[in-house]
Amino acid sequence: MFPRKGFKGGAAVPHRKNTAEIETVSMGIPQKVAIPMSQHIGAPCETVVKKGDFVKVGQIIGDSSAFVSSPVHASVSGTVVEISPRLFAGGSQVLTVEIESDGKQEIYEDIKPPKYANQKEFLEMIRKSGLVGLGGAGFPAHVKLSPPPDKKIDTLIINGAECEPYITSDYREILENSWNILCGIEILMELMSFKDVWIGIEDNKPEAIRILSEMADNHDNINVVNLKSRYPQGAEKMLIYAVTGRKVPPGKLPADVGVIVMNVNSVSFIAEHIKTGIPLVKKKVTVDGSAVKNPSNVEVLIGTPLEEVFNYCGGFKSEPAKILMGGPMMGIAQYSLQNSVVKQTNALLAFDESEATLPKESVCIRCGKCVEACPMNLIPLSINQGVSNQNLESLKKYHINDCIECGCCSYVCPAKRYLVQSMRLGKTMLRNAAGK
């Protein structure tokens, strides 16, 4: 086990890992699922089924010819009852396939353990599985594992940091499926020729560190890194620096410094997919928050309405004022409980009025705390001013697009400025001005 120094900035957020010792349980089969055709960064899928079609578990229902995209599969067996655009989790209209379950969960007949003989066939298998980054970003895994030829990749980092408060789904995966994680790493090392593998875990998860350290002891090139617990330790650039000392330059990607980063659940899924052939149709989700009656870790079929997931966890013990998909720092507020669990969903949080009410903004006192906290070395107060003045040149000058929207600036601001919101608004202003 290798301890590492922390990165610059960040925030000491409370852990609140209330469900850390709660074993994951399978929720079962919902009556209906609503599966969006875009659950990833990149081109949305086009439907390959029509209303009235009968589909089975694992059958492709949406695909795209674009390289940066990922196919979408049926998570239940049953009948397609609706195909229409819906306002979904991220706030955009997405073409959605609604399937009424027959309760039988029949597996699509073409599904079988995949075979591959080389790296090209392995990457095609990953694409067909529908795997995207399961840590929240949703980047298609086959694209991440296909860097340009001029990028010399030597290091794989497995992200087990799970630095956001409340979320424990990665931690439970380590405790419950550690052999899958190790198997997935071994497969990636063999097919992708990584020289070194580092598993980064924050030091508030000693049991996860112990389990994976014991397993890694038998592998010369696999090492577990004991990371300092500080948000946003799990962000790619922070993680890469903490583990390797390499700095990803502004506007660049991990591949530019010879690194690929994958989430523990993503690596575990690869091993499971090779054993069963079943594509990505379910997700491990932490359900927690002050309004939730029975906080839990739940295995949920993709497309399941949020309302059913919360009901499975006993419903609400108080009226929820805010529902988040994801963690409290970077999660997306949900306008409806009829929204669905998607591939990137790692947590569903419900907060009552006492915790959901935003404090009122006051005048910036120019204390510089946001500058100290920013892990990307930005000046949030200047960007905030540029957004308020609609000064696009100022937004470019202060590198707004380098912001990872971690929320550290807002968290530490004594004036309670809505800094993250202004970052998102400013990025939208620049995209609109560029006609994108």
Among candidates 94, 91, 59, 90, which has minimal Cα distance to 73?
A: 59
pTM of the model: 0.95
CB-based contact 14:204 (threshold 8 Å): no
Q: What is the mean pLDDT of the chain?
A: 94
The full set of domain ranges for the chain reads 2-18+146-276, 369-433
pLDDT in tens, 367-411: 999 999 999 999 999 999 999 999 999 999 999 999 999 999 999
Q: What is the mean pLDDT of residues 161-166?
A: 96
Return the biggest CA–CA distance within the chain: 64
Degrees, nearest 5: CA angle 301-307-312: 70
CB-based contact 129:105 (threshold 8 Å): no
Q: What is the mean pLDDT of residues 79-89?
A: 92
pLDDT value at residue 243: 93
Sheet holding 93-101, edge to edge: 32-36, 93-101, 78-87, 54-55
Task: Tell me the sheet residues that pair with 231.
Answer: 11
CA 15 to chain centre: 18
CB-based contact 141:133 (threshold 8 Å): yes
Could you tell me the pLDDT band of residue 218, with boundaries at 50, 70 and 90? confident
pLDDT for residue 291 is more than 90: yes
Spatial distance between the Cα atoms of 246 and 325, rounded to a whole number of angstroms = 31
pLDDT in tens, 224-262: 999 999 999 999 999 999 999 999 998 899 999 999 999
DSSP string over 358-373: PPPP-------HHHHH
pLDDT value at residue 3: 47
Q: List, in sequence order, every beta strand (DSSP E) within 88-161.
A: 93-101, 155-159
Helix (H, G, I), strand (E, B) or coil at 385: helix
Q: And the tokens for 251? A: 């506007």
User: In terms of DSSP H, where are the helices of 65-203?
Assistant: 119-129, 141-144, 169-176, 178-192
Q: Per CATH, which fold does 2-18+146-276 belong to?
A: Rossmann fold (3.40.50)
DSSP string over 292-336: BSS-EEEEEETT-BHHHHHHHTT-BSS--SEEEES-TTT-EE-S-
Helix (H, G, I), strand (E, B) or coil at 27: coil
353 half-sphere exposure, CB direction, 13 A CA radius: 2
1 compared with 194, residue with greater pLDDT: 194
Helix (H, G, I), strand (E, B) or coil at 421: helix
pLDDT in tens, 318-375: 999 999 999 999 999 999 999 999 999 999 999 999 999 889 999 999 999 999 999 9
Spatial distance between the Cα atoms of 272 and 265, rounded to a whole number of angstroms = 10
